[in-house]
Chains A and B, each alone.
Chain A
Amino acid sequence: MASFKPTKIQVYPKLGEKVTQDTLYWKNYKAPVQIKEFGAITSIDFSPVAPHNFAVTAFTRIHIYGPFSQEPVKTLTRFKDTAYCGRFRSDGQLLVAGCEDSVVRLFDVSGKAALRMFRGHTKAVHVTDFTSDRYQILTGSDDYTCRLWDIPNATELNSYREHTDYVRCGVTSKLNRDLFITGSYDHTLKLFDARADKSVMTMDHGQPVESLLLYPSEGLLVSAGGRHVKVWDLLKGGQPLVSMKNHHKTVTCLCLSSNGQRLLSASLDRHVKVYNTTNYKVVHNFDYAASILSLALAPNDESIVAGMTNSILSIKHRKSPEESAEVSGQQRRTPSYRVFVKGKNYAPKQDDYLVSKPVKQHLAKYDKQLRTFNVSNSLDTALATWTRLRKPEITVAVIKELDRRGTLKNALAGRDEQWLARLLNFLIGNLVDPRFAAVLAPAAEMILDVYRRVVGQSPLVDRQLLRLQELLEREIDYQQDLLEVLGMLDTLFASSLPRLEVPHPGTSRANGLAQGEAGTSRPQLQAT
């Protein structure tokens, strides 16, 4: 005796974004804190030492914020013009910044006045950085040069004039004090060695380079320029590895998540994309209110800080584990694990006699009614308010099952006005849903068949029927429009694709010939 097979509820593919580990990770941030700055925020840099303050360069100031404060803990204002690229030294004590007035200033983080001023550039300095030995500064300027400066003497050590356009980004090696890379609007990336007078490697990005990033291993270099993000293998002499084009406006900033597994790129198109660094596929994406100029991640991804053109600084802090746990706890209060395994894991002793109990089959209410052939009642159950509104697929599945059993007409017939209005309401809500249309359209036809004679007797039902008719007319128009669009697309595709010729146009003819040829010496299958 086989058991009753419950009604199959069709599982429809979930629409929208798939929930992956990445979405969970990147969604686990609090609502952003927004701080208004004085101008477009061009640079954000996190201090490498413990409290992990961050320096925000905007207009003529550099604000240093603490990890959780919303007020700057420190403000550096000694700039004559727009400041650029405030960078911390690796010990977090010094900060360097370029300026529109071509002077590079070095600050003590605790002081206010500049410790050193490096003069020599003739135009605005957009790039500043410390070398890994902490005694030198790299700068890049709109006068096409990049220079190395000695901090103690405040003297220029070397100047490189290889770029043919503005130098707008640069990065120093963390492992080697002599290596640094600069990117310029002349579309090139150049790797310099301070011990040599010339660049040792040149890579062509193809677009004005906006941002550079070195992997922690320093074998790979990421450059952003135009809409492209490119990855270069430095150990293979600057061979291009991957080129990604996921933004639809210029990519302005790059940064790496703390474990080095994810790469983030921010763009003027207001999006931040998260890439997997193994296959360089976009795994997540979040957007901001305005074009993003700068982006930084706190160590351990504790916070995401983005600076935008509308001079808003957005800080998103990571949710603490308790908080996220609390949220999920509120969502569902499920019985503990103990309840489920109660008595189930008891191992029988050697002499115990095992009495096997048949497992009781749990059936939904509509299934119980279907099992006993109570078709009308099962339809009632499936049309209960909660099911109808929250799980229309159950209602549709029961209607489908009744149709399969050939008893849908019986279940629909003999209803009162209220019930019919409820069913029509459900139909109006779901009839044009492509997932349900195939099931509900015959059911609607059946309703019209059954209740044709009483049309016009109830104003309530009549109103619903008119609405249904209106809905169907609209849907038909809509489908027609869609078909027209499809036809247009087809012609476009057909004209854009090169016509594919069958490589052996003469084959069919050859076959015909072969047949004639074979006709003379056609071997006959003979029974032996």
Chain B
Amino acid sequence: MVEHGDIRVVHRGGSKINSREPVVTNDSRFLLCASGERVKVFSTSTEECVHDLRGHTDLVTGVLLRPTNHLQVYSCSVDGTVRLWDFTDGILIKTYDIGYPVYAIYASANHEGVFFIVTPTQSDNRSELFQLVAVHLPQSGDQLVEAQELSAVLSNVSSNPAATGFGRGGEYIASAKGLHLEVYFFKKQKSYRFSLKEDNKKGGKNTLMCIACHPKDDCIATGHEDGKIRLWRNFNHKKEYTYTTLHWHHNAVSSLRFTPEGTNLLSGGLESVLVQWRYNQESERDFLPRLGSAITHIAVSPDGTLFCTSHSDNKITIIQSCVKVSAVIQGLVNGESVRTDLMVDPRSKSLVLNGKPGHLQFYSLQRDKLLYNLDIVQQEYIHELGLQQFEVVKVAFDAPGNWMATVEERKPKAAEPEINLKLWAFDEQTQSFVLNTTVSAPHEAQITSMCFSQAADGQTSMLVSASEDGHFKAWQLPRSACTEDEGPSWSCDFVGDYRGLAPQCCCFSADGSLLAVSFQEVVTVWSPASWELLTTLSQPPKAIRDLCFGRLGCSKYLMGTTASNLLCCWNLLTCSLEWSTSMDVSLLLSDPLTENMAAFCCQAESTDLFVFKPSEPRPVASLKAVCSGKVTRAVFAPREEMLESCEESSQWLNRSQLYFLTQHMDLMTFTTKAEEDRLAASSKQLFIDDSVAMTPFYLLLGKHRKQENQDSLTRLSAELMPLPRGSLAIKELLQSPAHVLPSTSVLCSMFVESLLVSVADGSEESKHAEEEMESEKEEEDSEGEMESRTPRPEPASPGLQSAESAAPALTKAQLKELRRVKKLDHGWLADLLLS
């Protein structure tokens, strides 16, 4: 995080939500999960993020509902604090400063005022040993509390939060590490340690992975690396313990959980199948298969109706009692490495990159939300370790977003790689991409680069793919030659090569009239219209790494970077080198909307960014030490609305935004101060302090409902306002036949009076009124003031107040009339009615 001028590098979405177990609130309406430095509160029904609890300054490592107050939640973090939040309002209540990095947090209802944390044994972070520590919460009203009373419970525990758990009623705590299971009894203040052999005869691995304790029974379930689940009983004796083994999983069990009543045991692992075992009838199992990817955590709501599984692809699935997936909360999928470059879909302006295995994800940058996953490979994914799977390795979009090309690759051991090139057409009706053409084995070797022609006419689409087999191929959609029964499909138009060298990069000029293909240190420039080799450019001694044509006013320039740390700019009109400079550019990319180009430059473990125009070798802007490590993936995303920044250093951010992926697969972007302010303002506007999930529908309907509520409240108060005499009078009035009643003019005044005055303070009221009359006479000329006084609160006369609030807009004449009526003596009528 470096500040430079007013341009800042900020995290933009994509933080992991599957790092720790999610927590479901008592009423099953919210789901809390740790996400980077924040705790996110999701609605379980609408999948929307309701709150974002910000405050921690480092990775949040645990979220836990407060046992004594189910509306509050603890979160612990590596920054050495435990924070207490009110998650319905998103307010930080307390901060407990521990002083050591906290890796997990546990609490039990039977241990009031104490929570248990896992911290490194030594104070320095590098230590591999962890201990379980009890923290006694000091009673203090302050916001920031320093927790001093620490007492070690167990030493040498696993830092994995799934490897420790509280037993029945908080009587004992069990922890697993390696091949050992340790149980600590609080009453006896004694711990028992059980060990397993390294390997059994069949070669299975017995390492304990996770643990779950039965809530009603003395039973501990442990999951093992070889897929076995052991149920331990009788563990309060050192020798006479027993265990039974359950085996269904064929890979390591990564998560175990008992349902709150203890009737079922849930387990999950790499197979991405949620298995439900009946407690004491373990032969009966239920399965929920094909959950998408490996299960990393399982959580159960306190009432047992909802199960949540978090998955390795940054996803949380909410399951209704092991039957139906009711909601999926999906974060940005960060694969091990993004094989496809970062891309921006020209239509939805969403970021496109590798998603789930065999899928492409379309991620909205504005809303920080996954739009959809597109299945590219269209094959059943087999969850098995060490299996060679199809991977999407290249994606390209054409300029209007009508066509997408994908390359998928699978490299079986000791066999030729399988490569498929697929072309997808955008379907207006379904608003998604539909497979048009599949080319199996488009090239004999790996495809190194692929790009669409950027011809502005939008008529002819051309795709060029370069491969390590020494050829580059042009694919074209024939315009007319299509048969009636099927639409047009792509076919190969040209195969080009240059002296048997392997092409590395290819790039079309802005108008699509030139194609540059680099063959090691030679750049060849071709004319796509005639497939003629126009010229060659070269800058020995090293191979070309990146190629980029200039845009708009700089379209006559071709930029290239070489492996020998050279950034070159060729002028295509003179076919000569315009300028070159020596820098280690790891990534060069051009902004499609402006002339700017960005070069990420790796120097001494950190990356600098230079933004420049090809026409002049001086940078427009430069940022030092943007992040540590090399940046290899970045993209310019067009902004929805242009910024109006006049400062020269941030002008390049006006039309598009630059996103990049760091070494650790964090998605970052550059923002300016002004933009941040604007964002903050808009987020405040959106904030609604209601417990109901905030959805667009809610924004529409919520206000309306609130208004309605208020309306009904006032109406209710008007109706319920006790009018003992008046109501009786009204009743009488309505029930008596019309011909026995006095004239309406008389009755009307009485009726109004009955609404205005209550019996108890009637005389007082009249006195008040008389006083008011007098004051009115005095101030009759000052009308404005008079009107401002009319709604004056009068605590003694609730009747008047309610009437006035019900009909607030009374003109002066009406008021006068009312007062006149009030002064009339209607006692006779009241007596008449009462008699």
Which among A403, A442, A511, A528 is the interface contact of B576 at CB below 8 angstroms?
A511
Check B288 against A525 for contact (C-beta < 8 Å).
no
Q: In the complex, are the beta carbons of B415 and A442 less than 8 A apart?
A: yes
Tell me if A507 and B537 are in contact (CB < 8 A): yes
Is the pair A3, B290 in contact by a Cβ cutoff of 8 Å? yes
The smallest C-beta distance from A278 to any residue of chain B, in angstroms, reads 12
* Stretch in B104-112, B379-387, B757-765, B814-822 with 4+ CB within 8 Å of A: B379-387
State whether the Cβ of B456 lies closer than 8 Å to any Cβ in chain A. no
Q: What CA separation (Å) do A527 and B581 show in the bound complex? A: 13
16 A-B contacts, Cβ less than 8 Å apart? A1-B325, A5-B378, A8-B379, A21-B484, A404-B382, A406-B384, A406-B388, A502-B535, A507-B535, A507-B576, A508-B536, A514-B577, A523-B579, A525-B612, A525-B619, A527-B619
Specify which chain A residues have a CB less than 8 angstroms from the CB of B610 in the assembled complex. 525, 527
Name the contact of A525 in the complex, choosing from B570, B581, B624 (C-beta under 8 A): B581
A491: Cβ under 8 A from any B Cβ:
no
B residues less than 8 Å from A4 (CB atoms): 290, 380
Q: Is A518 an interface residue (CB 8 A)?
A: yes
- In the complex, A117 Cα to B165 Cα: how many Å? 121
Q: Which residue on A lies nearest to B571, using beta carbons?
A: A514
Contacts of B390 in A (CB 8 A): 404
B448 at the interface (CB under 8 A from A): no
B624 nearest CB neighbor, chain A only: A527
Contacts of B292 in A (CB 8 A): 2
* Complex interface: chain A residues within 8 A of B382 (CB): 404-406
In the assembled complex, the Cα of A10 lies from the Cα of B441 at a distance in Å of 13
Give the contacts of B554-572 with A (CB-CB under 8 A). Answer: 567, 570
Closest 6 CB pairs of A and B: A523-B617, A514-B577, A527-B622, A5-B380, A514-B576, A2-B290
Interface residues of B in 469-511 (CB under 8 A from A): 483-484
**A510 and B536 within 8 A (CB):** no
Q: Complex formed: what's the CA distance from A527 to B606 in Å?
A: 15
Q: Across the two chains, which residue of chain B brings its CB closest to A12?
A: B440
1/0 contact trace for B564-598 toward A, CB 8 Å? 00010010000111011101000000000000000
Known: A8-B379, A523-B581. A403 touches B412 (CB 8 A): yes
List B164-223 residues whose CB lies under 8 Å from chain A: none
A7 to chain B, nearest CB (A): 8
Minimum C-beta distance from A434 to chain B (A): 11
Q: Is A459 in the interface zone, CB < 8 Å from B?
A: no
Which residues of chain B come closer than 8 Å to A527, judged between CB atoms?
608, 610, 619, 622, 624
Question: Once bound together, how far apart are the Cα atoms of A528 and B619, in whole Å?
Answer: 8
A504 CB–B CB distance under 8 Å? yes
In angstroms, Cα B581 to Cα A312, docked, is: 83
| 16 new A-B contacts at CB < 8 Å, known A514-B577, A528-B621 | A1-B325, A5-B378, A21-B484, A403-B412, A404-B379, A405-B384, A405-B387, A504-B575, A510-B576, A511-B576, A515-B539, A522-B581, A523-B581, A524-B581, A525-B583, A526-B619
Looking at the complex, which one of B290, B325, B415, B537 makes contact with A511 (CB distance below 8 Å)?
B537
Q: Is the CB of B387 within 8 A of A511?
A: no
Of residues 368 through 412 on chain A, the ones whose CB sits less than 8 Å from some CB of chain B are 370-371, 401, 403-406
Question: When chains A and B are docked, how far (Å) is the Cα of A515 from the Cα of B569?
Answer: 11
**A438-B412 Cα distance, complex, nearest whole Å:** 13
Per-residue interface assignment for chain A, residues 1 to 40, with 1 indicating a CB less than 8 Å from any chain B CB and 0 otherwise: 1111111101000000010110000000000000000000
**B724 contacts chain A at the CB level, 8 A cutoff:** no
With beta carbons under 8 angstroms apart, the residue of A401, A403, A528 that contacts B649 is: A528
A6 closest partner in B (C-beta): B380
Cβ–Cβ contact A526 & B618, under 8 A = yes
Partner of B535, one of A2, A370, A504, A515: A504
Q: Are A507 and B536 in contact (CB under 8 A)?
A: yes
A514 nearest CB neighbor, chain B only? B577
A523 to B291, CA, bound (A): 57
Binding site for A on B (CB under 8 A): 288-292, 324-325, 375, 378-380, 382, 384, 387-388, 390, 410, 412, 415-416, 440-441, 483-484, 522, 532-540, 567, 570, 575-577, 579-581, 583, 608, 610, 612, 617-619, 621-622, 624, 649
Q: Which residues of B contact A514 (CB under 8 A)?
A: 576-577
A503 within 8 A of B: yes
B contact residues around A8 at 8 Å (CB) = 378-379
- Min distance, Cβ A438 to any Cβ of chain B, angstroms: 7
Please count how many residues in chain A sit with their CB below 8 Å of the partner chain's CB atoms. Answer: 40
A10 to B439 alpha-carbon distance, docked (Å): 11
Does A347 belong to the interface (CB within 8 Å)?
no
Contact partner, B483, options A1, A18, A518, Cβ 8 Å? A18
A267 CA to B570 CA in the complex, in Å?
59
Is A500 part of the binding interface, using a Cβ–Cβ cutoff of 8 Å?
yes
B411 CB → nearest A CB, Å: 12
Interchain CB contact under 8 A, A5 and B379: yes
Shortest beta-carbon distance, B763 to chain A, in Å?
61
| Chain B residues whose CB sits within 8 angstroms of the CB of A3 once the complex forms | 290
Contact partners of A518 in chain B: CB under 8 A: 577, 579-580
With A21-B484, A526-B618 known as contacts, the answer to whether A1 contacts B379 (CB < 8 A) is: no
Across the interface, which residues of A come within 8 angstroms of B440, CB to CB?
Answer: 10
Set of chain B residues within 8 Å of A406, measured between Cβ atoms: 382, 384, 387-388
- Distance (whole angstroms) from the CB of A65 to the closest CB of chain B: 37
- Known contacts A406-B384, A525-B567; A511 and B538 CB within 8 A of each other: yes
User: Contact: B618 with A523, CB < 8 Å?
Assistant: yes
Do A510 and B415 contact each other (CB < 8 Å), given the known contacts A1-B289, A2-B292, A525-B610? no
What CA separation (Å) do A525 and B539 show in the bound complex?
19
Interface string of A488-511 (1 = CB under 8 A from B): 000000000000101110011011
Given contacts A525-B612, A526-B618, contact A1 B291 (CB under 8 A): yes
* With A1-B291, A1-B325, A2-B292: A503-B535 Cβ-Cβ less than 8 Å: yes
Residues in A with CB closer than 8 Å to B379 are 5, 8, 401, 404
**Which residue of the partner chain A has the closest CB to B616?**
A523
* Chain B: CB-nearest residue to A4: B380
By a CB distance below 8 angstroms, the chain B residues around A405 are: 382, 384, 387
Shortest Cβ distance from A368 into chain B, in angstroms?
A: 12
8 Å CB contact of B534 from A21, A503, A523? A503
Whole-angstrom distance between the Cβ of B773 and the nearest chain A Cβ: 62
> In the complex the two chains form, what is the Cα distance from A528 to B379 in whole Å?
51
